[in-house]
Amino acid sequence: MTTTVLEAVVGLLRDTGMTTVFGNPGSTELRMFRNWPEDFTYVLGLQESSAVAMAAGHALGTGRAAFVSLHSAGGVGHALGAVFNAHRDRVPLVIVAGQQARSLIRLRPFLGADEPEQFPRPYVKSARQPERAADVPAVLAEMHRIAMTHPRGPVLVSVPEDDWDRAAEPVEPRAVHSGFTADPDVLAALAARLDVCGRPALVIGPGVDAEAALPHAVALAERIRAAVWMSPLSGRSGFPESHPLFQGFLPPVAGPLAARLAPYDVVVTLGAPLFTYHVADDSPPLAPGTELFHLDCDPAQAAWLPTGTSLVTTLRPALAQLTTLVARSDREGPPARKRPAPVSPGSDLTPEGVLDQLHRRLPRDRVLVEEAPSHRDALHARVPVDLAGGFLTTGSGALGWGLPLAVGRALADRRRVVCVLGDGSALYSVQALWTAARHRAPVTFIVLDNGGYGAVSALGRRLGIAPVPGTDLGGIDFTGLAASFGCPADYADHPDDLGKALDRAVTALGDDDGPHLLHLRVTDTEGVLYET
């Protein structure tokens, strides 16, 4: 009996665990849904960018690549902001984009994609439109392996709509083990340097979480008694923030970053580009006397770093070996990280007060998703995360990621997620509330509404630009908006009401309950974004 492209692809998706499909269907994908398998789940996103972000959350929760179905050129265009985030945050996604029938492509048809392999570049690891229909299953299998090979990331395959019914060979399952280690002599030399240095520091990047290397990073830090910092604007957790060696989060500005690392003679960055800047600064990347070693699986990242010695390696085997090579140190550890004092209740609801109250109620095993740029520093200071994989945000800055990311993450294992959002950020992808309600995703959304794009205003003040046009919002009823999508919601704007509202939204809701949104009207602190 002849196997069709569709049948071969369905078999491949089963073999690779990609039976949850995220998408927004269009006419050029219809044949893909013929005889839709009963063991597959289709998660509808009401906009393509939300579908990609939900798939990313699911991939981060399962540790496997997620499958995304996008419409032809326009749908891919809508999705590219989220694809950009997935690429920068190393999230494995297998994206299939619809394409018009092969017989029509030369005629520039309605909904046809010109040069579909080029459209998503450079923010995919690879993109192809197979030369023949019969090649589609094998190309998809290859793309899955590319997506899952470190550094992981999204891939895209453009499939003409008439390919699905053509004949093709089934794809044999095969495994690729992608861990690799730096030269043993190079690791031994790094260990020797760590043994004789005076004040070592580790900088933890998103690669630690991406490669499930947190226990190995903790073991190395404890063995050498190193101060531990988080890399600037990291999209993930990677070290327990209540650990006595943890010192805080590095700023994305050259001068302050170099100043934070100046006390250390050897700095080892793990899975982090380190020099991720958001504000121009003519300062050198590191102070004189600070020696940098950089461990990461991406040779491209190793190539562009402006200073230091790079070791191209995956982290788990390298850290396991490095920890056995270094001597156990008796050097004095760094001083304990200073934490801000709790905010005293006043007449206004402040972001800091909300985060203090959230910290008291947030279980230690709860995943926290954040997309509130104005309040990220306050969240890091007041809500420490100790859980491996326990913190997710956008490390690349394209808004609209957090809300649907939280939905996909909750659907991965059906454990409640808490998602802290700014009002501006939430509006980029608010339609994902409909998906959360439809699938009863266990997510608590906390919207910190300061009435505008506070991070942009703060950066404007830093540059002497005030007011910044187009940064004011207001009058948006998030509770009514959530209710219209089927998501229950509450509102509070006074400290006296905050505790009970958080109890309902965070404490009282379990993993079997659906989504809930809490709209909090907070005062704008008029702060300056990042240290000067």
Give the active site residues.
26-27, 29, 48, 71, 278, 397
* DSSP-assigned letter for residue 338: P
Cα separation, 126 vs 120, in Å, equals 9
Kindly report each contact of residues 466-474 with a partner whose C-beta sits within 8 Å and lies 24 or more positions away, as own/partner.
473/423, 473/424, 473/427
- C-alpha closest to that of 525 among 380, 385, 377, 383: 377
Residue-wise DSSP of 422-486: EHHHHTTSTTHHHHHHHTT--EEEEEEE-SB-HHHHHHHHHTT--SPTT-B-----HHHHHHHTT
User: For residue 382, what are its two tokens?
Assistant: 């007041």
Q: Checking phi first, is residue 331 left (phi over 0); if not, alpha (psi -120 to 50) or beta? A: beta
Ranges assigned E (strand) in 196-321: 200-204, 227-230, 246-249, 266-270, 291-296, 309-312
Alpha helices in 197-314 (DSSP H): 206-210, 214-224, 254-261, 299-304
User: CB–CB of 102/163 below 8 Å?
Assistant: yes
User: For residue 345, what are its two tokens?
Assistant: 């209740």
Residue 63's SS3 state is: coil
Cα separation, 185 vs 179, in Å, equals 18
Sign of the Cα torsion 509, 511, 516, 521 reads: positive
Sign of the Cα torsion 377, 306, 311, 287 reads: negative
Task: Write the CA distances from 247 to 94, 202, 330, 446, integer angstroms.
Answer: 37, 10, 19, 27
**Count of beta carbons in the 10 Å neighbourhood of residue 103:** 10
* DSSP-assigned letter for residue 19: -
Torsion of CA 359, 365, 367, 373, to 10 degrees: 30
Cα separation, 195 vs 219, in Å, equals 15
* DSSP-assigned letter for residue 397: -
User: CB–CB of 19/69 below 8 Å?
Assistant: no
* DSSP-assigned letter for residue 337: P
List beta partners, residue 444.
418, 516
The strand pair at 200-204 and 126-128 is best described as unpaired
Question: What angle do helix axes 315-325 and 184-196 make, rounded to 10 degrees?
Answer: 50
